[in-house]
Every structure is written in structure tokens, then in C-alpha cells.
A = this chain, B = another copy of it.
Amino acid sequence: MPLFTSHIFVCCNQRPPGSPRGCCDPEGSEALRDLFKAEVKKRGLGPLVRANAAGCLDQCERGPTVVVYPQGIWYGGVTSEDVPRIVEETVVNGRIIEELRIPDEQVNCRPKP
């Protein structure tokens, strides 16, 4: 059995209400992670695809944030409506959804407040 073809990490970090950096999961519900898990299961993509909760991915200003490894594709502003197409387009078909993508050069570059 090979390694995961896509390992989806969903930021489930909570920051205090009103944090200037924003927050990926203000309610701490891990709802987005649950939706990814359900979509992966519905399509029978396990055990080669896995959706995982992650602590702070440090993209708070651009959240909710998801990163897909080993491809290293970062998505920001992800909503529940985006989950099926991320799985369909990116995980199954290997295509990047440009309008969700956090540009590579921004991933390690925190915006000035």
C-alpha cells in the first residue's frame, strides 16, 4: 500500500473573538474537517486519501485554510461549498483551483497589520 496520495490538513485553530489576525474555525467545531472526511468517505477514496485536523497553519488572515500534501497546495477562504470541488478537482483530478489558491510566495509571508 503506497503512502497517501493526498493528505488534506484543515486548520481547526481557534483564536479569541476579535483577533486582528482572524480565525480559521471560530466556533471550534471542526466542521470543515468533518465535511472533508465525509466527502472522502462518500467517494471511497480511503485509505489513500485522508482528511486531518491541524493546529494553526499560520494563514489566519486568509482562512479558513486547507493544505494538501504532498502536493503542497494551499487554499484559503475555503467554505463548506468548496469541499466537493476541492476533492473532485484537486484530490481526484490533480487540478489546482486558482481562485482558492494562496500564492506560494504568500504562504510564508505574514501580511503587515
Contacts and interface: CB of A to CB of B under 8 A. Distances in A.
Interface of A: 1-4, 7, 9, 12, 30, 33, 47-48, 50, 52-58, 67, 69-72, 74, 104-105, 107-109
A70 B30 CA distance: 24
A40 to B, nearest CB: 13
* Copies in the assembly, this chain: 2
A50 B55 contact: no
Chain A interface, >50% SS class: loop
A98 to B, nearest CB: 16
B55 A107 contact: no
Given A53-B54, A55-B33, A55-B53, A2 B104 contact: yes
